[in-house]
Each structure stands twice: as structure tokens, then as C-alpha cells.
Structure 1
Amino acid sequence: MLYSLAKPLLFKLDAERAHDFTLRNLKRAERSGLLNLYPRPAKCKARQVMGISFPNPVGLAAGLDKNGAYIDGLAALGFGFIEIGTITPRPQPGNSKPRMFRIPEAEGVINRFGFNNLGVDALLQNVAAARYQGVLGINIGKNFDTPNERALDDYLVCMRKVYAHAHYITVNISSPNTKNLRQLQEKEALAGLLQALKLEQQVLADRVGRYVPVTLKIAPDLDAIQIADIAGLLMQYRFDGVIATNTTLSRDEVQGLPHAEEAGGLSGAPVRERSTAVIRALAGHLAGALPIIGVGGILSGDDAVAKIEAGASLVQLYSGLVYRGPVLIDEVCRKLG
């Protein structure tokens, strides 16, 4: 109810400014104890996925809290797990503003942030300061000025630094807002990346004394051959999971609407069917060999059910929160049971 009252005012602000304003005030509310009055989402069954016990299957997708600065406030909303990042080895400002645009007529969002973040060391300071004891995923990427032939170096730097602090790690090779990043999804490049990351995971597991699962986040703009290739490589290199999907470059679902031609990745309702189709295709190839986390266009409990029916084990929210607010977490929990 509170969000429904605040939403018209937030939508009068620039989208990124509203995003930052909301997170800052969420943090204040948590610190003051006001969020203790917030009703807990409906209880649903815990899920065992990747050897981790998730208290509920509804997570926060990466991108909303890039630096891990708002973990406790977000946790108070009732997520079963939280994924922070994408983080890079060095701080970077991202693309120039404005770089986030709402498309209310289609319940969509376009962003071209470009991995704006304070760097992996700042994120780890925030993680250390947080009181949150739940399931935490950390999403890692490469700096914008690191060429693809050296991308592995950036992923290894981040992986080594975050390994002991994460319940799982996500390798993001699917953002459309870092030049040429999606080329890492091509079969030859991806094989080398997955092999090296898997070897490093084994080294770190021995060093830390704990096995931390690693997942891969992929795009919705993949053809059938690419999906089959990615599924095959994930199984070959024994990756622990896959997150499907990131944002789309397609504008088919928003043609003619204000801001539709802005550069960047499109999320929210317009990516719903593309994401679900990728999940379904992946599930067919993987045949249960590794779990899928479904994200993209979840704006209702029924949308989340569709992701699970397509083959996902867990779901994540982001743009749906812009249009529905925290009530969406409760609705999805109730539907998934």
C-alpha cells in the first residue's frame, strides 16, 4: 500500500534518481527499525539448489544493488536470497546519464548503466558491514576497458576476492551495455572461460575449505544453436547453475512507445516470453544436470509459475519491483508455495 502511494511521485523523477532515492530511504527505514513493522511475505517451502538451502525461492536479481550497499534493507523485504553486483575489479563510472528509462505503457525498463560500480574492494567492505546472514550471490564482470582476450583476468580477480564471502558467484557475460561482452557467449570463447573458472573454483575451494557454486548469466537474444552450445559447455565443465536471462536488445514488444529507441537492455514485461523460452530450451538440453534460475519479466505470481513450469528452480525479481513494489515478493511466494 505504501509503495502504491509513493509510486506516482517516484515516476515523476528521472528513473535512476528514483532508484537511488528509494534505496537510500529503504536503508534509512531499516536502520531506524521501521522495516520491522513491514509484514513478512507469505511462507513458502525452502528449496535445496546447488547444495544451498534457500529459505524461499524468490530472489533479488543483480543490478539493483551493484555495490552491496543496501543488503540489510533489501533483506527485510523478505527475499529468499539476494544477488549483488555486477562488480568489476576496478571502480568505473559506467555510461553517461541519463541511462535508465521507464516504458510504463509496456511495464518495461531500458538501462545502459555499463557496470557502474565502486570496485570489488568497496563491495566487500559493504558485505562485511551488513548484518544479513542469508543466501548472498555476488555477480562479477569485467571492466569496460579490458579487452575480451584479457577478460578472464578480470573474472579471476573478482572470483578470488569474493569467493570466501559469497554463497554463490555469478559470471555475467550477457550485459549488452559493455562493448563486445556478449561475444564471450560464443562457443570457443566461452569454453576457454568456463574451463579456467572451473579450475580456479577448485583451487579456491581447497584454499578456503568451502565449495562455492558458480553460475553463468546468459542473454535472452540467443538462437537455438547458441542455447544448445551453452548448455553443452555448462555440462562439460560441470558448472553449478545458469541464470536465464539478462536484458534484451530487441524492441519488438515496445515499438512506437516513448523511449523505446533508447540504447541499452530492455527488461520488465517485454522480455518475459523471451526469457521463458530460453529457460524452456535450456531445460530441454540440460535435462536436470544443473539448475536454472529464472529471471525476466516477472510482474505477477503467475509469471513466476511460468518460469518454474518452463524448468527454473528459483526466480529473481528486478524490474517487476519498479512497477509492483515489494508486494510482488509476497505474491510470488504465495503462488510458488
Structure 2
Amino acid sequence: MLYDIARPLLFSLDAETAHELSLASLNLAGRLLPAGKPVTAEPVQAMGITFPNRIGLAAGLDKNGEAIDGLARFGFGFIEIGTITPRPQPGNPRPRMFRLPEVRGIINRMGFNNHGVDALVANVKATKFRGILGINIGKNFDTPIEQAADDYLACLDKVYTLASYVTVNISSPNTKNLRQLQGESELDDLLGRLKARQEQLADRHGRYVPLTLKIAPDLEPAQVINIADALRRHRIDGVIATNTTISRDKVQGVRYAEQQGGLSGAPVFEASTAVVAQLAQTLAGELPIIAAGGVLDGRGAQAKLDAGATLVQLYSGLIYRGPGLVAECVHATADHSDSHRA
């Protein structure tokens, strides 16, 4: 109800300004109010972790981990922060975020704007949150693609002991050449190096932290099969499907549709869900799929599970529906069959 009152004000502001105001408010709420708890549901096992419910926050909303405690009050089963890079970077020039309310979509070309991994680490250490925390890592915009693995390894080293799981983001369309890492040879090299470092860190710290890979919806079926094969070959613990799309098929003629960047929200739902279904068929339950992309109601969350996902993440749906969407999706997916658990 409170969000229904606040939404007209937020939507009267530039999209990124509204985002910053919302994060600042959540930061304040997190510091002043008691710690939040997940919406009650039957726990779900995935990647060796017990998730209190199936619904999580996707990376991108809180890049620096500044509002974790406030976001925890929404009732998520898990929260993912980032994408973070080794060094701070401003991202692309503003304006770089656009709402498409007619189709409940958002276009952004943020460009991994963040305060750097050291700032995120400090924020996580200061939080009251004791739930499941994913940390999403990427590369700096000016790091040559041939040296991208060095950036991912640097971030993994610094966040390893603080994360419940770490996500490797190779699918944002807003960092030049990043999606090139989804290519067969590039991906093989990157995952091989990350898996070796994960094993070293697990030995060093006496704790195994799962790795997930976040992929794009704009993949040909053969590419999805190649990625699934690489995930199995390198024993990666999970996959997030998907990031935003560069396609504009679903938004032709809509204001801002011509803006460059990744499109999220309702227009990406079908393409993202199709990738989930293909991954589920190809992987045959060997590792869990976390579905993200266009979930705006409980039926959408359930559809992701029906396609083969184990967990579901929200982002753009929160902009259009508010925090009540979390409980709606938790309740809609609470009695899902055990057959999709991994």
C-alpha cells in the first residue's frame, strides 16, 4: 500500500534518480528498523545451500551492497548484490536508464557503475543481514577482454569469505565485448581458471562457496548447449538465466525503445524462459537453474519453475509492483514439486 502511494512520485522522476532515492530510503530503513526475515515457505536445497524460499533479488538493484538490510525486509529468500568490479568506475554517461511503462519494461546501459570491490566488502561487513547473500562479479570496462579473467579472479579472492555464492556475470550488454566471454573457447578458459581458484580458496578458508554463471537471453540453441556443456565440464555449481536482452522485438513503437542498452521486465519474459527450458532439458538436473527475467506476478514465477528453474529472481517487477511482489511470488511457488530441486 505504501508503494502504491509512493510510485507516482517515483515515476515522476528520472528513472535513475528514483532508483537512487529508493536505495537511500532502504539504506535508512535498514539502519533504523529491526532485521527483516524471509517470507515463510518450505525451504529449498540448491548448490548445497538451504534457501528459506525460492524468491531472490537479482543483481543490479544494489550494486554496492548499500541497502542489504533494507532489502531484507521485503522477505526475499536470498539477495544478490553487484555487479562489482575490481576498481571503482562511473559507468556510462547519463541518462542511461529508461522506463517503458506501456509494456512494463526498463532499458538500461549503466555500464557496471560501482564503487569497486573494496567498498562492497566494507558494506557487507557492516550489515546486520545473516541470510543468503550472492555477490555478482564482473570486469572493469577498460580491462582488455583477453585479461578479463584476472578481474574476475581479483573479485573472487576478495568476496569469497563473505558470499553464500558468487555469480560470474559475462552477459551484460553494456560493457564492450563482455558477451564475447560466452564464446566456447573464451568461456572454457575463464571457467577453468575460476574453478581452480575456487578450489584453492575452499582449501584455504575451509569453506566451499558455490559459483554460478549468468548468461544472456540472446543465445542461439547451439550456444546454450555449448554453455551447458562447459558448466558440466568445469563443475560449475549453478546457472542464472538470464540477463537483459538487446532485442527490441517486443517493444516496437514504444517510447525509448530505440535507446541502447539491455531491456528487462515483461518484454524479456518469453525469451528468458525459453533459455531456462532449454538449459533444463540439456542439463537434465545436473545443476540448478536460477531464473531471472520478466517476472511481474506469481504466475510468472511459477512459469519459471515449470520451465525447469529451482529458484527465481526479481528486479524490474519490483519497480512496477513494489515489495508486495515478493510475498506474492513466494506463496505462488511455495508448493512447487520437488522434481525441480537440485
TM-score by length of 2: 0.96
The aligned residue for residue 32 of structure 1 is 32
The aligned residue for residue 200 of structure 2 is 203
2: CA distance between counterparts of 1:13 and 1:333?
30
The aligned residue for residue 234 of structure 1 is 231
2: CA distance between counterparts of 1:179 and 1:31?
37
1: CA distance between counterparts of 2:269 and 2:131?
28
Kindly indicate whether the alpha-carbon contact (under 8 Å) linking 2:104 and 2:265 is maintained by their aligned counterparts in 1. yes
The aligned residue for residue 337 of structure 2 is none
The aligned residue for residue 190 of structure 1 is 187
2: CA distance between counterparts of 1:156 and 1:31?
32
Aligned partner of 2:173: which letter?
P
Kindly indicate whether the alpha-carbon contact (under 8 Å) linking 2:39 and 2:76 is maintained by their aligned counterparts in 1. no
Secondary structure of the corresponding residue to residue 77 of structure 1: coil
Closer, same or farther in 2 for the Cα pair 1:132/1:305, shift >3 Å?
Answer: same
The aligned residue for residue 17 of structure 2 is 17
The aligned residue for residue 167 of structure 1 is 164
Alignment of 1:138 onto 2:142: no
Deviating 4+ runs (over 6 angstroms): none
Query: Could you tell me which of 290, 294, 303 is aligned with 1:293?
Result: 290
Kindly indicate whether the alpha-carbon contact (under 8 Å) linking 1:58 and 1:314 is maintained by their aligned counterparts in 2. yes
The aligned residue for residue 148 of structure 1 is 145
Secondary structure of the corresponding residue to residue 297 of structure 1: coil
The aligned residue for residue 178 of structure 1 is 175
2: CA distance between counterparts of 1:163 and 1:128?
13
Closer, same or farther in 2 for the Cα pair 1:98/1:49, shift >3 Å?
Answer: same
Residue 124 of structure 1, CA deviation: 0.1
Alignment of 1:259 onto 2:241: no
Kindly indicate whether the alpha-carbon contact (under 8 Å) linking 1:297 and 1:319 is maintained by their aligned counterparts in 2. yes
Kindly indicate whether the alpha-carbon contact (under 8 Å) linking 1:41 and 1:330 is maintained by their aligned counterparts in 2. no
What is the correspondence of 1:1-337 to structure 2 with a 5 Å cutoff? 1-33=1-33, 42-337=39-334
> Which sections of structure 1, spanning at least 5 residues, go unmatched?
none
Residue 41 of structure 1, CA deviation: 6.9
Kindly indicate whether the alpha-carbon contact (under 8 Å) linking 2:211 and 2:236 is maintained by their aligned counterparts in 1. yes
2: CA distance between counterparts of 1:148 and 1:105?
37
Q: Which whole-Å deviations, capped at 9, do the CAs of 1:187-214 have from their partners, x for residues lacking one? A: 0100111111111110000001000000
Q: Which whole-Å deviations, capped at 9, do the CAs of 1:33-63 have from their partners, x for residues lacking one? A: 2x77x9x775211111000011111100000
Residue 26 of structure 1, CA deviation: 1.8
2: CA distance between counterparts of 1:30 and 1:247?
28
2: CA distance between counterparts of 1:130 and 1:41?
16
Residue 31 of structure 1, CA deviation: 2.5
1: CA distance between counterparts of 2:83 and 2:300?
25
**Worse-matched range after superposition: 22-31 or 174-183:** 22-31
Q: Which whole-Å deviations, capped at 9, do the CAs of 1:91-143 have from their partners, x for residues lacking one? A: 00000000000000000000000000000000000000001000000000000
Kindly indicate whether the alpha-carbon contact (under 8 Å) linking 1:41 and 1:333 is maintained by their aligned counterparts in 2. no
2: CA distance between counterparts of 1:275 and 1:152?
26
Aligned residue pairs, count:
334
Q: Percent identity?
A: 64
Secondary structure of the corresponding residue to residue 11 of structure 1: helix
Kindly indicate whether the alpha-carbon contact (under 8 Å) linking 1:254 and 1:270 is maintained by their aligned counterparts in 2. yes
Kindly indicate whether the alpha-carbon contact (under 8 Å) linking 1:41 and 1:329 is maintained by their aligned counterparts in 2. no
2: CA distance between counterparts of 1:216 and 1:26?
28
2: CA distance between counterparts of 1:118 and 1:27?
16
Kindly indicate whether the alpha-carbon contact (under 8 Å) linking 1:241 and 1:291 is maintained by their aligned counterparts in 2. yes
TM-score by length of 1: 0.97
What's the RMSD between the two structures over aligned residues?
1.1
Residue 77 of structure 1, CA deviation: 1.2
